[in-house]
Amino acid sequence: MEIDSAEIFNQKLKEKKLTIVCAESITAGLLASTIASIPGASDVLKGSIVTYSRELKTSILNVDPRIIDDNTAESIQTTIEMAYGLTKIYPSADIFVAVTGVASAPKNGYKLDKEVGQIYIAVYHKNKMNELGKIIDQNDIKRISDIAKQNNVEKTKRNIIRELTVQSIFDFILSVI
């Protein structure tokens, strides 16, 4: 993740006097951590909840379990409900972002009808829900992996997907505010 993109993101939010709260699944806290890595982040970041499990999505964010049953935990429907859940937890924020997706192939026999790299972003801002579903470009994953190897840095595919997801979130939020 390039720090420049986080700096630009934070600066744009500061300029517009906007604050953000996050509900993270696929990024597992990386979104908030990236925002917080920039000095002055407390002007924009109010907090983040990592709701990696179904249980936390339903108990903390009040996602209806039937939505997860009908659509999976990694779906735009679940992600939208997560963003709405944030509005109840911290209603004074300006931007409520939720993210889910698939960072790696499932284990333990869990069947998933989605491709690795499929992400879902929901952004609630000014009483409007904005949603994005996309697949992280495999060429971008390979490019970042190659650069990391050249610099003797080991990066797993799942972590590269998480980094690219954070970048996608920044880009998407900036396009809707």
Q: What is the pLDDT of residues 42-66, one digit of tens each?
A: 999 999 999 999 999 999 999 999 9
pLDDT for the residue 153: 86
Q: What is the pLDDT of residues 7-27, one digit of tens each?
A: 999 999 999 999 999 999 999
pLDDT for the residue 2: 55
H/E segment holding residue 109: none
Q: What is the CATH number of domain 3-176?
A: 3.90.950.20
Q: Beta partners for 100?
A: 120
Q: What is the C-alpha separation between 175 and 95, in angstroms, rounded?
A: 13
Q: Beta partners for 49?
A: 23
Residue 109 has pLDDT above 70, yes or no: no
Angle between helices 138-150 and 157-176 (to 10 degrees): 120
pLDDT for the residue 105: 81
Of 105 and 150, which is predicted with more confidence? 150
Confidence of residue 3 (pLDDT cuts 50, 70, 90): low
The average pLDDT across 69-91 equals 97
Residues 117 and 129 sit within 8 Å (Cβ to Cβ): no
* Domain layout of the chain by residue ranges: 3-176
Cβ neighbours of residue 118 under 8 Å, at least 6 residues apart? 74, 101, 102, 133, 134, 135, 136
The average pLDDT across 112-141 equals 94
